[in-house]
Structure 1
């Protein structure tokens, strides 16, 4: 037997189980990581978006408040009457009151860097700090990138409101410093809707930048204010790389759009991602540690399966794969098949004994087969032998078909180990049932049609006791031998060939008559000499094979009829292929018979009990086996055993088995199926039935009762 190491070897089931546990562990952890990472990051981004939106709304509110202030100043100027005075002025000195008027607005509102008044009918420009000629103002004091002085001057005369960004105004009141900013231009109309000029507000970029809150600055946001048609008024903040990921939020209010662009690589975001990575790393470490612990525990828990796998590979040579479950499963199927084969083999052996007339009565047979679901209920029997000339089909299929065909007639079937192409059928018939030769011929044709095989059937006569079943069997065998005369693919009854067989001039009628007389006279020496004369006759006479076999059958049958023995060789005579083989078998049988006829006194009670105790717990044990061992037939042995022990042999066997079962139930944790096999029962149902019949409770109830008493 191939040697297998008992040290655990990693197999497919171990790997599958380990991976299953790891997957079960990993899935919730991955979901946990994904869920909380997403939720945390999403929540943080939502907070950032909410803050940015609020900041943009605040910028919008502040900016539009300043626009409202500009419109209010324009309204005040129009209503004050000052414009009419300026229009009538002829000199610069006359514009001094307007300068003071405009300076009020710049001094009270730091948001305005300067307020500029340009009238269409005077050649001067008035600011909150000075007055200058219009031409000089646009050429020297005010510049607009990309726009010529004349174009800039012309833009101040537009009839609608407008603004200009990137405007540079020189403030001579502040050391002539030039200040960049944006211009907001509002046209001035008279009561009669006549354009009088423009009021322009110069807003420094620094003042616009003050609109941006500190939170946006902390986000390193680039904030812009633009019109709805995309013309940018103001943009403040660090320049962003267009290749980097950016977060953009916008807020619309009227004609203005406020936009904040935040770099996704912001340090705050990076910190959040670092925290998430640390969280993921911790979970992974937990997963690895848990995986190692699972692997160790799985290794420990795997050992019983490994031992089962090792045992399975020892019991089943075909279980050599890496998959332990497949090995164990295939071994269980293998053992189940072996067990079933063993049961069928035991049943087959009992039926062969029945065919050999080794049971004196049907009661003896039923007692010997008490746990095999074999039982004789009738006293009329008939035997046929089905010979397959091609490889025999599946016996189960043939038997199943024949059971349907012969219904309601029941039968037992058997196969000889020496003649696997023969199927022996033993019919058990009620008083109103019979089997005709034509009935068997129809069955033969059905077998040939169904299984595409050439079939010949030999058929014996009806007998009325188990002690004469062998007669019907021998007749069926003799009938089958006549296929060499009648041909294959036929159904041959013994009644058809009996006149030919007995009427043969070479049949030893005289020798058989002398043997019968010797048995009647009960002379041992005469019996021996008569048997030897029959054997010498077939040994020294040229006889056909079927006649040699028939004479040998008749010889064994006559001996068994007068002096039952335990030999089954007369059945095995049907397996001989030549006359010489059959003669050799009958000589061996004769030698064994001589030994049996010299046997002295019967066995002692100690010898019988010892043999029973040693063998009664085997599943294939039979009381017939005991009788055979001590050289008796079953009926004689049963009477002999009871005379010495005042107990039937089968009762002793059952009591011994139940006692052994009770001991195992009390002292071990074996399964009920294992206990059943250990005390001689192939199947659990038979064991349970016998145990309850003897004890009044089932084995499981008995075990539970004993455990409760111990507690």
Structure 2
């Protein structure tokens, strides 16, 4: 056999169709996502810088507001300071309160420019002592301090440095000087550098982002996480446009720089992010993206493998089957060529099909024909080449033979039907066996217009089938059509016609068109009187009347009820009437075993079911009559004497106790005792009441309850009807005189 490359072709086709476009699309999407993600990271950094700027603006605004308050308060006026010896105490209190509410402040210093005194929250100091022994600035000394503060006309920042003596504090301090024109003074704010450190995100130094605070001249005020090359290029940072991000080179390294100016215009905030940091962030995203892409490729590969296996295995098996068959396939052909070679030889008729295979293929084609899957006769004939199936007629219809299965036949039933179908010489007959149980579907093809001849042939077939099998054969015939695609419609019509045997009876020939003609809208007479008569006949056990009414109902169904639905409903109404009668006369008939498999599909079977039910009813009624005639009256009387004082004791409970109907028990009791059972119970209760009235001191109400009356008024009424006196009058006349009831039966 030629080396098989089909599997590799499958793999290559799936890979080229699915995986390669997926990878190309993944690369395009990656480039887009990397660009978008880079912008996202830079925007995050910009937002961080804006938050820092906002915090600084808020702090500087507070300092300016406090400086403005100082210039307007009387405590800080030159007159108050010069003439009030305790003025420095008021100034200290103001400063301490402001430092208390601003935790970032280390100290606040107030200085009149033409004075040598500096006021602080901790006290006062002169110029020499303050800038020599307490604090030291690179920019301010005791010699130039007066000149330095006098020259300041706008707020200025002094760079972060260690100001205080190490014995006081080693923390870096940022100084902000705000001049006041009103009283020719300055306010010096000293802020802890930790305040600025708190503004930056945690572990920002690990990410490589640097923050610079510059004055308007580009001098460094404060730096966070700075690198040495950046400290020497602060002037370059000033050239960046405010509010924009620019990529610049600093000593052969690229940095993204974002610059923004504080609201007070006193300082510039610069954020510097190395390009390397952005690359690291993008690389992290790329790793996640590639992992996801690999997972997608892996899942796609698994799906491709499953599809290849699912599609390739049947072809492989088909190729193996082609080589193992009766066709001699050349060895140099691959799988597809082998299958093609086998199919071509089959279509040319070079292979003999076995009878079993041919029969199965014939049934398959006929099933397709019944389902309406062939649009034309030529299409069917071409598909059935070499299968001995050929249609030449121009008209088509379906007939269904519904049989009664008989396993004792000497010849199998399908062979009998085949022999009978040979009698339909005017038609081409194609038979499908057992499409439904005990049914044979015949597809008839001919010239059409032969309904009378067809009816005669079918009567002849019915007669021969009856002689050969002793069973009934019901035939349903659908309408005739001139299109092969409408055979399915004719089949449905034939099915309905067969079901119509419920009205026509078994062993009938039923044309669907005849049913349609008789089912014209008409007024149906519902046999209400007949059903009521049937009910009373069953209750009374009148077998002659039962048979008469059943015959009338069957004739009504056959003559007037042409609708299958209405006929079926009436049949079940007859059965329900019989069951209602059984329930009302409380007959003990069990339907569980005897009737569990009973069904009817024709009017004859329905008659058998109704006769079976009525026969059981009559048999049960006769049995009950025999058992009821042997009623022991002495046993009944004894039971009544024992239980008559029970308020719930009545004729119904008596009938239930002796397994009889109320009407039958009442009839039997009256025939033997010459009085009703209820009157007898009442007499027993009156006699018991007489005894209690004359022999006890019980009240009339208690006596009524003891003898079986729920209401004393009912007892008094019944007692007076029986004796002509009320219980009270009877007690007065017959006090202590006990009546003799031994002879009362």
Q: What range is the shorter-chain TM-score in?
A: 0.3 to 0.5
**TM-score, scaled relative to structure 2:** 0.35
Higher relative contact order (CA 8 A, sep 6+): 1
TM-score after normalising by structure 1: 0.36
